[in-house]
Amino acid sequence: MDEDIRDKVDIRHDDIVGLNFIRDTGRHMFRKHCRQGLRSRIMEVLDAGDVRKEAEGEWVDGIRVFPRARPTWMLRIFTRRFASPADVLEEARMYSLVEACLGQGHIAASSEFIVDYIRDGRREMLLCGLQAFVEGEILDPWGFVYPGHLAELCRRMPAASDGDADVRVRRARKSAESLLGRLRDMVTTAGYIPDLSGIGNLILTPSGNIRLVDINNITKVAVDDVVPTDDKGYPVCDKSIEVMAILERELAGRPFDRNDPLYRLFLDPARMARVKEIEEKFYRDRQKQM
């Protein structure tokens, strides 16, 4: 019996081209991305010629080099099981909401598609996305524990033709301003927030733009005293609002405003202490599962 692709940890090219909804033209290679999250399987879609060059090398000015193949796309297979077509459409609708609120400049654009996944004669609905690959460094919001974090990230980028590290720092600050404005609108007008807290969810591009690549964990922002958790038991809404405050302080250079109604509710010390307990339980439970 074939293992369900959503449960498979070690996914290879042959597993992907063996899926009933993938047509193997020979032009693409699929390779598991070096970073993975909890909700999707992320596969790099590579040009077969680039992979060949990577393995066999090419001659440049008399020197044989082995250029790493850069993904043309990312294939995302959502691990969530859907009970009905309405559920899967609702999940796909959430992507449209993020795209409408944050704009193409702050997300990794994705074409979502729903397929019939056939395995051992059974059919199930599966949600996938073909997403633009975002080059850059992970912007870890929890890494701002020392003042030089942003400058360090910008220095680590491959030397871009359009500006040095200082220029990138300035651009990153501007990009954070724009992203925060859009997130604020999303929270106040639509009442939803994406997951900003997962490591790897935000990427800083070589040109200094901040993009959200993890577009599939969106939560309703309820203005009350209950700390909501997602399907894995993580207090994602509170932690994402905390990330907004961190980005505001560390990148946009705005000190924390206690009179801001959003932060007054979510960053109240007693509430944050409850969030910490829930978070610790989440990590304890995950450790037990390993």
Ligand X SMILES: Nc1ncnc2c1ncn2[C@@H]1O[C@H](COP(=O)(O)OP(=O)(O)O)[C@@H](O)[C@H]1O
- In the region spanning residues 186 to 215, those forming contacts with ligand X, defined by CB under 6 A, are 198, 200-201, 203, 213-214
Measured CA to CA, the distance from residue 13 to residue 32 in angstroms comes to 8
For the bound state, the minimum distance from the C-beta of residue 209 to ligand X, rounded and expressed in Å, comes to 13
Q: Under the criterion CB under 5 A, does residue 141 sit at the interface with Mg ion?
A: no
Could you tell me if residue 198 is left (phi over 0), alpha (psi between -120 and 50 degrees) or otherwise beta? Answer: beta
Q: Under the criterion CB under 6 A, does residue 19 sit at the interface with ligand X?
A: no
For the bound state, the minimum distance from the C-beta of residue 216 to ligand X, rounded and expressed in Å, comes to 5
Of 9-17, 81-89, 132-140, 266-274: span binding ligand X (CB under 6 A): 132-140
**Nearest residue to 132 via CA among 108, 102, 148, 103:** 108
**Nearest residue to 141 via CA among 103, 99, 183:** 183
DSSP-based three-state secondary structure for 66: coil
The single residue among 126, 131, 157, 279 that binds ligand X, judged by CB under 6 A, is 131
- Going by their DSSP bridges, the two strands 122-132 and 73-78 should be labelled as antiparallel
For the bound state, the minimum distance from the C-beta of residue 60 to ligand X, rounded and expressed in Å, comes to 26
For the bound state, the minimum distance from the C-beta of residue 200 to Mg ion, rounded and expressed in Å, comes to 6
Q: How many C-beta atoms lie closer than 10 Å to residue 185's C-beta?
A: 12
Q: Under the criterion CB under 6 A, does residue 38 sit at the interface with ligand X?
A: yes
Chain center to CA of 257: 28
For the bound state, the minimum distance from the C-beta of residue 36 to Mg ion, rounded and expressed in Å, comes to 9
Residue, CB closest to ligand X: 37
Residues contacting 32, CB < 8 A, separation 6+: 10, 11, 12, 41, 42, 43, 44
Q: Under the criterion CB under 5 A, does residue 201 sit at the interface with Mg ion?
A: yes
Q: Under the criterion CB under 6 A, does residue 108 sit at the interface with ligand X?
A: yes
Interface residues toward Mg ion, by CB under 5 A: 37, 198, 201, 214
Interface residues toward ligand X, by CB under 6 A: 33, 35-40, 42, 74, 108, 131-134, 138, 198, 200-201, 203, 213-214, 216
